[in-house]
A and B are shown apart, each in its own frame.
Chain A
C-alpha cells in the first residue's frame, strides 16, 4: 500500500509541479463555461439544472482525458524511467493503479473547479441538488473510464501523439456506438439484439442515465468494468514490454 501511495504522490507531484497542469485546468473550466453558456444556452433555457453543463462532458473528455493519459507511460518509456520503475520491487499492477488514480484525481480536481457553476444555478433558482450530485458522480466515473482506456494506449505506444489519437478513436467509438443516428444506420444490418448490446456499451447511454439523477447498478458496473478492463490491458501490455 505504501508503494502505491509513494507512486501516487510522485505522480501527483509531477502534475502540479508543472505549469501545464494549471494551463490544463484553465482550459477545462474555460471550455465548460463556453459550452454551457454559449453553445447549450444555459442562461436562456431558464431551467435551474446543470443539464447544459453535463451534456458536453463526454465530448470535452474526448480530448482532455487522452491528453492527461497519453503521458502516463509514454513519458516514462521515452525517458527510460519505465525500466527503472519496473525493475524496482514494485508490482506492475500497483504502478498501473497508482498512476491511474493520480490521473483520475487530477481530472476530479478539474471537475471540482467548476463549483462556481453550481453556486450560479443555486443563485438563479432552486435546483435539485440530488440530480447535480448524480451528474458530478457520473462525470467522474466517465472520466475514470476514459483515463483507463488512455492508460492502455499509453502503455502500448512510445509515441504520445499515437497514444492520444488511439485513445480519442476508441473513446469516440464508445460514444458513437450509442448515438441514435449511428444505431439507425446499422438498424438494417444487425438484428435488434446486437443493436441493443451496442447501445448498452456506449458512454452516452450510461452517462445520460446517471446524469438524470438515477444511480443504476448497471451503469456503475459499466464504468467499473471499463476501468478494470482498461487497467488490466495496461498491465498485460506492460508485462509484455517488461519481458521484451
Chain B
C-alpha cells in the first residue's frame, strides 16, 4: 500500500509542477494571441500604430514612470495609469524594436530623481511627494521625448500621443516647413518718409514659434516649391499666377501636406497705398484651383454672421454691442474626435469665411469639419465691413440660419489636377511684396519634375477660411513688464494652428490613428432623471432661497433697529420679528422638501433596482423551486 501512496504523492507533486511550468512557458510565448471584445476595441492598437511600429528601423525604448504603489488612494489616476500600461504593453507586444520598462518611482528614490530629471510632472502630494504617470521615449542615439503627465482628460488621444512621440523619436530629422504669404509676416519697419504708412507693423508672433519647432523657410515665390519642403503653409494666397497655382497643384498631388489659410476679408491685408477703411475684393484671397475644381469652395465676398457666437465689444464711448462678425468658438463648435481640435476650448475667429462642398467633393474626398459656426449663423456680404463695419448694419442684415457653416476642414483622399493640359506657359509670376531686389533677380532652377494628373498618394490638407485668427491682435496679449515683453496667448487660436501643423507633419500612419473611445459610460437614465428633476424643482429652490435671503435681510434690519433702541419694547416690532422667523422656518422646511424631491426620484430608482435584483429575483427562484419540489412530491 505504501509504495502506491508514495507514487500518488509524487504524481500530485508532478501535476502541480506541470501546472506551474505550463503557465510560466505560455506567458512569453502566447502574448500576442488576444481577442479584444470591447465595442470600440479600446485595448487594440489601430492600424496606423501597427504600421508605424512595424516599420521602426531602430530600437525605441519606452520608460513608463507610474507610481503604481503610491496611487492606491487615487483611484482615477490608478485606473488610468493601469490603462496606459496596458496600452504600452500592446506596443511592446507588436514589435521587438520596442522595449518597455515600467518604473514605479517611490518617494525619495533614485527613480523619482530620474523622473524629475526627465521633466515629468505629476500630482503633488503633501510632503513634496509626487505621483508620476509619464512617459520617456528614447532612441539609441539618445534622443528623448516625454509626455510629462498622462492626463485622463486626454484619454481619447492616448494612442495618438504615444505614437506621435515614437514617430518623432524614430524620425529625428526636423520637418522642413515652407511658408508663403503676401502679408508682411515678418513685420514692416516704420517709414518716417511716408505719410500714409505711418504705423509699421510688428512681426507675427507665430513665426518665432514656428522657427523653434520646425526647420522653417520663408518662400519668396511659389514656382518652384523647393523639393525638400514637406509641409507647405499658404497664408492668404491672393491673385496667384497660373504658374504658381500649378506649382501648388503639383505639390499637393505629390501627397505632401499643406495648411492653407484663405480669407474673404483679411484685416491684416492692408497693402501699400491701400486705404485701410476701404475694402472690396482687394482684401480677400482664394483657394487654389485644385480644390475649387474638386468641388470645395470658399464663397467670394461672403462672411459668417453669428448671433450665438458674437463677441461683446465696447466702443470708446462705452457703448456695448454684440459684434456678429467676431466669432467666439467654444468646444461646442470644434470637432471633438479629431486630435487637432479635440481639446480646444476657446477660439476667436474674426471676419470668417466658410467652405461649401459640392456632392462630387463629398464623394471623392474625406472632408471632416474641424471648426464650424453655430447652427443659427447666417451669411453676410463682406461689403458690410466697409468703413469699419458698422455693428448696426451687420445686426440688421442677420437672419438666423439653419445649418452649421464649416470654418476649417481636414481634407484627405484622392485629387485630380486643375491643369489637365500640363504646366501652363510661363507667364507673369506673382510678386511677393516681401521680396528683396536681389532675390527678384536670382534665377530659379527650372522645375523638371514630371506632370501629375492626379494624386500619387492620398492628399492631406487642412483648409481654414480665416487668416486673422493667427495675427497677434486676435491671438495674443503682449504686455511690457519692466522692459520685458511678455506674450500670453488669450485663446486657443495658435494652439489650433500648431496642432494642425503637428497633425499634418505626422506620417500617414500617425494620421490614421483616430481618437479612441472612452472608458466612461455614464448612467444616461439617471442623468435624465436628474435633469428632469432639476427643471422641475430648481426654479422653486431658487425662489425659496431668494425668499430666505429677503427674510434674513428684513430680520437683520429689525435687529439693527433694536440695537439702536437698545431695548426692544415695541410689541409690534417683536411680533413682526417673530412673524419673519416663523416664515423663515417655514420656507426652510419647504426648501428641504424641494431638495429632497430633487434627489428622490433618482434614489427611488436605485432602491427599486436594488430590491428587484437582490430580493425579487431570489424570491422568484425560491417560488420556482417550491413548485418543482411540490410537483415532484406529488409525482412520487
Contacts and interface: CB of A to CB of B under 8 A. Distances in A.
A120 B609 contact: yes
Given A34-B614, A222-B23, A240-B8, A46 B621 contact: no
Contacts of B523: 43, 46-48, 124-125
Closest A-B pairs by Cβ, 5 of them? A22-B625, A33-B614, A217-B33, A130-B37, A213-B38
Interface in B597-621: 606, 609-610, 612-615, 617-618, 621
Contact of B24 (A134, A200, A236): A200
Nearest to A128: B39
A131 B36 CA distance: 9
A17 interface: yes
Contacts of A244: 1
A37 interface: yes
B15 A236 contact: yes
B617 A113 contact: yes
B164 to A, nearest CB: 24
B522 A213 contact: no
- Interface band, chain B: 35 or more
Q: Chain A CB within 10 Å — which of B11, B26, B523, B612 has the most? A: B523
Contacts of B8: 236-237, 239-240
B613 A22 contact: no
Given A43-B609, A229-B18, A22 B38 contact: no
Given A43-B606, A116-B617, A214-B36, A22 B622 contact: yes
B521 A236 contact: no
Interface residues of A, number: 61
B524 interface: yes
Interface string A116-127: 110010011111
Given A33-B610, A201-B23, A214-B34, A48 B521 contact: yes
Given A113-B621, A214-B43, A215-B35, A46 B526 contact: yes
B23 A221 contact: yes
B612 A116 contact: yes
A28 to B, nearest CB: 9
Given A43-B523, A43-B609, A240-B8, 14 more contacts: A22-B621, A22-B628, A26-B622, A34-B614, A46-B522, A47-B521, A125-B523, A125-B525, A127-B521, A212-B38, A216-B35, A217-B34, A232-B15, A237-B12
Interface string A25-54: 111011001101110000110111100000
B31 to A, nearest CB: 7
A14 interface: no
A197 interface: yes
Interface string A209-244: 000111111100110011001001100110110011
Contact of A123 (B30, B42, B520, B525): B525
A233 B609 CA distance: 43
Contacts of A191: none
Interface majority SS (helix, strand, loop, mixed), chain A: helix
Nearest to B602: A43
A240 B4 contact: yes
12 contacts: A19-B625, A22-B628, A25-B618, A25-B625, A37-B614, A47-B521, A213-B36, A213-B42, A216-B30, A221-B26, A221-B30, A236-B15
A126 B15 contact: no
B207 interface: no
A221 B632 CA distance: 42
Nearest to A120: B609
Interface string B4-30: 110010011001101110111011001
Interface string B110-152: 0000000000000000000000000000000000000000000
Nearest to B517: A128
A214 B39 CA distance: 11
Nearest to B32: A217
B68 to A, nearest CB: 8
A214 to B, nearest CB: 5
B512 interface: no
B69 interface: yes
A4 interface: no
Contacts of B18: 225, 229
B19 A229 contact: yes
Contacts of A222: 23, 26
B629 interface: yes
A181 B563 CA distance: 65
B524 A33 contact: no
A190 interface: no
Nearest to A219: B34
A103 B74 CA distance: 40
Interface of B: 1, 4-5, 8, 11-12, 15-16, 18-20, 22-24, 26-27, 30-31, 33-40, 42-43, 69, 86, 520-526, 606, 609-610, 612-615, 617-618, 621-622, 624-626, 628-629, 632
Contacts of A186: none
Contacts of B37: 130-131, 133-134, 213-215
B632 A17 contact: yes
Contact of B35 (A214, A226, A232): A214
Contacts of A131: 37-39
Contact of A226 (B19, B610, B629): B19
Contacts of B526: 46, 124-125
Given A26-B622, A125-B524, A19 B26 contact: no
Contact of A233 (B12, B26, B40): B12
A200 B29 CA distance: 14
A217 B30 contact: yes
Contact of A218 (B31, B38, B40): B31
A236 B625 contact: no
A38 B628 CA distance: 32
A108 interface: no
A117 B613 contact: yes
A29 B617 CA distance: 7
Contact of A201 (B20, B521, B606): B20
A21 interface: yes
Contacts of B34: 214-217
Contacts of A124: 523-526, 609
B527 to A, nearest CB: 8
A3 interface: no
A129 interface: yes
A27 B613 CA distance: 12
Given A21-B625, A46-B523, A225 B22 contact: yes
Given A128-B521, A240-B4, A33 B613 contact: yes
A72 B208 CA distance: 78
A41 to B, nearest CB: 10
A174 to B, nearest CB: 10
Contacts of A182: none
Given A34-B614, A233-B12, A125 B4 contact: no
Contacts of A120: 609, 612-613
A36 B521 CA distance: 17
Nearest to A137: B37
Contacts of B19: 201, 225-226, 229
A16 interface: yes
A158 to B, nearest CB: 16
Given A17-B632, A29-B617, A213-B36, A126 B524 contact: yes
Nearest to B11: A236
A200 B27 contact: yes
